[in-house]
Amino acid sequence: MSLDIKCYPQGLYGENTYLITDEATGFKAIIDPGYFDFEVRMDIQNNAYLKYMLLTHGHHDHFLAAKQYLEEYSSVRFAAPEKELKLMDSGIHRCPKPGYLLKEGDVITLGETELRVIETPGHTAGGICFATDREVFTGDTLFRLSVGRTDLPTGDWFTLLHSINDKLYTLPEDMIVYPGHGEPTTIGYEKRANPFV
């Protein structure tokens, strides 16, 4: 089970949109569809291979391009956190309605890759992460040497610390962290060096 991971950090506020590909089958998923352009379309190539569009939380910089993906790729299934629906539908930017709602313990099967859903509230009340055996996509919960802010609607500092310490920091230390903003890191490095946790 191996993934090819491409990151497009050109989203609003430097949001990272990820295109992940299960190397055994070529099946693909977009994580946090905040960005979409010609480069992404070229990397997806075959429309039928884009199986999922996955959202970590309901802030608009992470879903601004969701409608474009849904219009471009008829095969894509949009899945988002069940507890984020209200946030996704608030503000100036409205997120398209997801076809699938995700909660703790759910598993997304992408070819031979399984992505486990981990609920990590704090940055928002219903934020989630997606974990394989080697990688975790943390949205705005955990960054390299930083954490998500909690002064926005539904955020809570102590809940965020609980999510990081009791959920993310229990993952293997060599697990690669792909955050919603900034550069990749590892669980072990953040446990040793992150000044906010």
Integer Cα distance of 187 and 129 in angstroms: 13
Is the full-model pTM beyond 0.85? yes
What single-letter DSSP state applies at residue 98?
Answer: P
Q: Which domain holds residue 68?
A: 3-193
Tens digit of each residue's pLDDT (9 = 90 or more) over 140-177:
999 999 999 999 999 999 999 999 999 999 999 999 99
Q: What is the pLDDT of residue 46?
A: 85
Q: How far apart are the first and last CA of the chain?
A: 31
Query: Which CATH number covers residue 106?
Result: 3.60.15.10
Q: What is the pLDDT of residue 63?
A: 98
Tens digit of each residue's pLDDT (9 = 90 or more) over 79-108:
999 999 999 998 889 999 999 999 999 999
Q: Which two tokens stand for residue 89?
A: 């539908």
- DSSP E strands in 2-157: the ranges are 3-8, 17-22, 28-31, 50-54, 77-81, 100-102, 107-110, 113-119, 128-131, 135-139, 142-143, 146-147
Integer CA distances (angstroms), 147 to 55, 72, 158, in order: 18, 33, 12
Q: Work out how many domains the chain is built from and give that number.
A: 1
Q: What is the pLDDT of residue 32?
A: 98
